[in-house]
């Protein structure tokens, strides 16, 4: 090997080392107590460094590809440990708002070609802003006479403090008005409306119901004991009775869809969050018998109204044949093909249709796929997305599926079915969930404003 080739190889090795170090630094943001926020990918405005001209002139060199910078919010995000295949197309312009937050909050940047800049505070690397600082930000937003919902969504996307979650969720869903002067009156009126609904439609004998209503109530009664069966709290008879009332009231008020299996799962995060205003400690120690009937009725009303607000944005997910879910499953298939073509090709070669596993994901919003103690954190992001949630689910589910990219490529059809129906998430912590959400946001940034990328 001549000196010229040796110099080229040494320089390339140095660049690889710098790239790997940068990725490690980014991944380090997820360690400890870090909860990552969003990632913005944008084209670098500065020209590439041509100091290593021998490398940059080589079309096969890593430095010959377009260079991009990464920007991070104060809730810095990390990359997945699994690196997917190259993305050839250009990233979309970041001039327009991205999802529910725009690029103005993403202030700390680093390029793929080097280490983190010196001006980044050391406290950011390896840990997020302190919990107290984050609580103060929420407190400031929530204490305003009129809550600015865009600011609240921006904060909530990366997780809501437990004691603030009930208030934040009511605001994000539009159930509680942002004007604090009207809030108490509106909640009181909505809760009375729910009580009237239960009195008019639920607390009546079966002889006053239609045959369809009797069958619907019977199906709800069958499904409630099956709801989150691995959490003992939901096996309490009073909890199941509350679920039954909420679901029946919703089905009666939404005759276009009526009750559809899977909606019972969607009530559970609301029930846990709104009960948390009255209970402390582990959910396994909660007992509905400790609450007054008025308190239970208020909690049910909040669950019913928030469920209605959530499903208003995805009504065709639960109408006949559930066309909304089928449409999103198709988009998920296209996105996975674009991001990880080997996985997509292997699933196709094995004859596995995305509907066979992803339909349940969309139907239950992953509630059956990850440990229940992570669900409320996941739903912070769901609710922060607002009207954009259905489209963003595609990216979350793609990130979720490709967590196991390497394994999926080794399984035959039967193994794929068994694996995807019983995913190994029982030991997941918040860190694994944050990795999924961060990767989802990155892909959303790359693809969502360029839908042609996802057309076969």
pLDDT range class, residue 411, cuts 50, 70, 90: very high
Q: Report the alpha-carbon angle 240-376-396, nearest 5.
A: 120
Mean pLDDT of the chain: 79
> What's the pLDDT at 447?
87
Inform me whether the pLDDT recorded for 253 exceeds 70: yes
pLDDT range class, residue 86, cuts 50, 70, 90: very low
Inform me whether the pLDDT recorded for 273 exceeds 90: yes
Q: Residue 159 in contact with residue 35, Cβ under 8 Å?
A: yes
pLDDT range class, residue 74, cuts 50, 70, 90: very low
User: 129 vs 449, which has greater pLDDT?
Assistant: 449
For residue 231, how many other CB atoms are within 10 A of its CB? 17
406 Cβ neighbours under 8 A, 6+ residues apart? 82
User: Of 426, 402, 410, whose CA–CA distance to 339 is shortest?
Assistant: 402
Inform me whether the pLDDT recorded for 7 exceeds 80: no
Cα-to-chain-centroid distance, residue 77: 14
Inform me whether the pLDDT recorded for 444 exceeds 90: yes
Classify residue 206 by burial, with Cβ atoms within 10 Å: 0-12, 13-18, 19+.
exposed
The secondary structure element, H or E, covering residue 43 is strand 39-43
47 Cβ neighbours under 8 A, 6+ residues apart? none
Q: How far apart are CA 104 and CA 106, in angstroms?
A: 6
Inform me whether the pLDDT recorded for 233 exceeds 80: yes
pLDDT range class, residue 14, cuts 50, 70, 90: low
296 Cβ neighbours under 8 A, 6+ residues apart? 238, 242, 288
> What's the pLDDT at 71?
35
Lowest mean pLDDT: which of 67-76, 202-211, 384-393? Answer: 67-76
Round to the nearest angstrom and report the end-to-end CA distance of the chain. 45
Inform me whether the pLDDT recorded for 269 exceeds 60: yes
pLDDT range class, residue 455, cuts 50, 70, 90: low
pLDDT more than 90, % of the chain: 67
Q: Output b/e per residue, 363-388; b: 16+ Cβ within 10 A.
A: bbbbbbbbebebbbbbbbbbbbbbee
Q: Please, what are the domains in the chain?
A: 3-124 (no CATH), 164-312 (no CATH), 323-454 (1.10.472.80)
Inform me whether the pLDDT recorded for 2 exceeds 60: no
Classify residue 199 by burial, with Cβ atoms within 10 Å: 0-12, 13-18, 19+.
exposed
Strands 108-111, 39-43: pairing is unpaired
> What's the pLDDT at 3?
57
pLDDT range class, residue 103, cuts 50, 70, 90: very low
DSSP codes joined into one string, 238-255: HHHHHHHHHHHHHHHH-T
Order of strands, sheet of 108-111, starting from the edge strand that comes earlier in the sequence: 39-43, 68-72, 108-111
Task: Read off the tokens for 85.
Answer: 């295949």
Cα-to-chain-centroid distance, residue 117: 30
> What's the pLDDT at 224?
97
> What's the pLDDT at 215?
96
Q: How far apart are CA 385 and CA 393, in angstroms?
A: 10
For residue 184, how many other CB atoms are within 10 A of its CB? 11
Strand partners of residue 41: 70
Rounded to two decimals, what is the model's pTM?
Answer: 0.74
Lowest mean pLDDT: which of 127-131, 278-282, 350-354? Answer: 127-131
pLDDT digits (tens, 9 = 90+) for 238-250: 999 999 999 999 9
pLDDT digits (tens, 9 = 90+) for 291-342: 999 999 999 999 999 999 999 989 899 998 899 999 999 999 999 999 999 9
pLDDT range class, residue 276, cuts 50, 70, 90: very high
> What's the pLDDT at 131?
80
Q: How far apart are CA 454 and CA 331, in angstroms?
A: 8
Q: Kindly tell me the sign of the dihedral angle through the C-alpha atoms of 264, 269, 274, 278.
A: positive
User: Of 76, 87, 73, 62, whose CA–CA distance to 27 is shortest?
Assistant: 76
Inform me whether the pLDDT recorded for 158 exceeds 50: yes
Half-sphere CA count of 71, side-chain side, radius 13 A: 14
Strand partners of residue 98: 101
> What's the pLDDT at 50?
45
pLDDT more than 70, % of the chain: 70
> What's the pLDDT at 451?
59
pLDDT digits (tens, 9 = 90+) for 34-46: 333 443 433 334 4
13 Cβ neighbours under 8 A, 6+ residues apart? none
Residue 30 three-state SS: coil
Q: How far apart are CA 308 and CA 257, in angstroms?
A: 12
């Amino acid at each position: 090997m001549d000196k010229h080739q040796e110099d080229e190889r040494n320089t390339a090795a140095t660049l690889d080392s710098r790239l790997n170090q940068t990725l490690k630094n980014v991944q380090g943001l997820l360690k400890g107590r870090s909860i990552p926020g969003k990632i913005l990918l944008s084209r670098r405005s500065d020209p590439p460094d041509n100091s290593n001209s021998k490398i940059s002139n080589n079309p096969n060199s890593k430095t010959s590809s377009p260079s991009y910078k990464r920007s991070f919010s104060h809730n810095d995000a990390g990359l997945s440990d699994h690196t997917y295949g190259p993305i050839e197309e250009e990233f979309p312009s970041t001039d327009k708002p991205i999802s529910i937050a725009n690029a103005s909050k993403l202030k700390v940047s680093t390029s793929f070609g080097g280490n983190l800049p010196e001006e980044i505070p050391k406290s950011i690397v390896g840990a997020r802003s302190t919990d107290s600082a984050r609580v103060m930000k929420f407190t400031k937003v929530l204490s305003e006479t009129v809550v600015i919902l865009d600011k609240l969504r921006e904060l909530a996307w990366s997780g809501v403090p437990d004691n603030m979650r009930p208030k934040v969720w009511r605001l994000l869903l539009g159930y509680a008005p942002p004007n604090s002067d009207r809030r108490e009156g509106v909640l009181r009126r909505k809760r009375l409306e729910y009580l009237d609904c239960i009195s008019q439609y639920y607390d009546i004998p079966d002889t006053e119901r239609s045959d369809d209503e009797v069958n619907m109530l019977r199906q709800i009664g069958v499904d409630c004991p099956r709801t989150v069966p691995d959490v003992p709290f939901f096996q309490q008879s009073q909890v199941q009775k509350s679920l039954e009332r909420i679901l029946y009231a919703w089905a009666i008020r939404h005759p276009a869809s009526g009750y559809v299996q899977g909606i019972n799962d969607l009530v559970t995060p609301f029930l846990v969050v709104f009960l948390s205003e009255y209970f402390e400690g582990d959910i396994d120690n909660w007992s509905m018998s400790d609450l007054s009937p008025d308190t239970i009725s208020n909690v049910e009303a909040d669950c019913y109204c928030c469920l209605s607000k959530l499903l208003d944005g995805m009504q065709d997910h639960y109408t006949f044949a559930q066309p909304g879910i089928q449409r999103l499953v198709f988009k998920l298939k296209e996105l996975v093909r674009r991001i990880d073509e080997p996985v997509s090709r292997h699933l196709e070669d094995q004859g596995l249709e995305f509907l066979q596993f992803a339909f349940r994901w969309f139907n239950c919003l992953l509630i059956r796929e990850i440990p229940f103690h992570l669900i409320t954190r996941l739903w912070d992001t769901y609710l922060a997305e607002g009207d954009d949630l259905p489209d963003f689910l595609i990216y979350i589910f793609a990130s979720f599926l490709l967590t196991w990219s390497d394994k999926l490529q080794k399984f035959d059809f039967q193994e794929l079915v068994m694996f995807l129906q019983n995913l190994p998430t029982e030991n997941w912590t918040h860190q694994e969930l944050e990795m999924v959400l961060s990767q989802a946001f990155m892909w959303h940034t790359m693809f969502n404003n360029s839908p042609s990328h996802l057309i076969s």
